[in-house]
Amino acid sequence: MMIKNQKGLTIPELVIGIGLSAVVISVVVAVQVQMAKEQDKLVKQLDDSIDQNQAERIVYKDLAGVEVSYNNLKILDDNANNFYDYIPDVTENTLTGTLSREFTLSLATKSTEFIVMTQNPADGALLNYDPVWAYDVGKDPGNPNIPADLAFSAKKNRTWMTNEKNGGRPGFWKDGNVLMYDTPSRIRPVVNGTINMSTPPRSPIYIGSISINAGDNLQPVGNEILSKLNMTQPSTGESIPNLDTFLRKLPSVGGGQTIVRLRSVRIIKYSLEQDTKKIAKDYNVVPANLMVSEYRNGQWSNKRLLADGIDKMVFRRDSIIKRMIYYKITKAKRLDGLNF
């Protein structure tokens, strides 16, 4: 006699039905789990992509005015060459040695800081500066062969610089701003009567910081920044400690009046710190946070996070005769593949 349930199914049929239902449910659950993993992986990849792209866009904006770094900043690259060497007036075949430059920010290589100087157009465009603006001129000696007395005046420097009616830039004089004075002249030192064309040509520069508490006087930059600046006379190596010295020893331009250029600049530092919110053993390298800070008021500002989970950031130049800088942020890869 067959035993049937109330719906007319036999026990074997019921067992088979339950088994098939269990198989279907397990397949559905497995598919849902896999979909959840894929969705989680996609979310992580998307987060990483947004994080990385946003950081690269910020760096791109920072590097827009990087011209002022060339031959003025001393940052050694991975091969101990100055990353900012720039020789625009010779061809590659006349140069020897490594012409490309590459700097790798990485916890593994212990190169964890990279500095860039860039023009800040938000404060105003480049200003052609007349050196007379910074001086009180004494009485006419009445003899064309005798120069009149000149007395440096920090107040006149500030007043003329910010006088918008005369074409000045009021936006330059803000607390914490960094100002850079240079000339269009590009000079190489003469050694034993010879000029080495492989030496990067440069202008003398003076860079000072504004502090409202210090009045009209530009403040010298700190020793850390000073050690990375070529703030010396290119022909003699003599240091340029202040604006007065810079203006009194300007290079001549074919016997004509020397042109001085003035601009507001930003000095920016990118740095890596270990990302303590991530478990290092879950990644192929120890993940790092990419941070950025700016030199203002004689010190670095508080660091801001640009991107987390970083493996390295590479800055690269194809040649020292070209000004283009390429850069790439690489994320640390998870060993479970969630951000591959």
Instruction: Of 10-19, 218-227, 250-259, give the lowest mean pLDDT range.
Output: 10-19
According to DSSP, residue 295 is labeled E
Residue 26, in any domain of the structure: no
Burial of 5 (0-12, 13-18, 19+ CB in 10 A): exposed
Contacts of 14 (CB under 8 A, 6+ apart): 5
Cα diameter, the chain: 140
- Name the more confident of 34 and 42: 34
Per the CB < 8 A criterion, the answer to whether 166 and 160 are in contact is: yes
Domain count of the fold of the chain: 1
Q: pLDDT value at position 34? A: 67
Q: Quick check: 283 pLDDT over 70?
A: yes
Q: Quick check: 165 pLDDT over 60?
A: yes
Domain that holds residue 159: 52-331
Which is nearest to 62 in space by CA: 297, 268, 329, 340? 268
Q: Quick check: 46 pLDDT over 50?
A: no
Residue 46, in any domain of the structure: no
Residue 11, in any domain of the structure: no
Average pLDDT over residues 100-107: 96
Give the residue carrying structure tokens 């490309």: 100
Residue 77, in any domain of the structure: yes
Residue 122, in any domain of the structure: yes
Q: pLDDT value at position 49? A: 52
Q: pLDDT value at position 312? A: 95
Which is nearest to 290 in space by CA: 118, 117, 104? 104
Residue 136, in any domain of the structure: yes
Which is nearest to 248 in space by CA: 147, 139, 170, 145? 147
Residue 37, in any domain of the structure: no
Residue 9, in any domain of the structure: no
Which is nearest to 282 in space by CA: 337, 203, 235? 337
Q: pLDDT value at position 8? A: 61
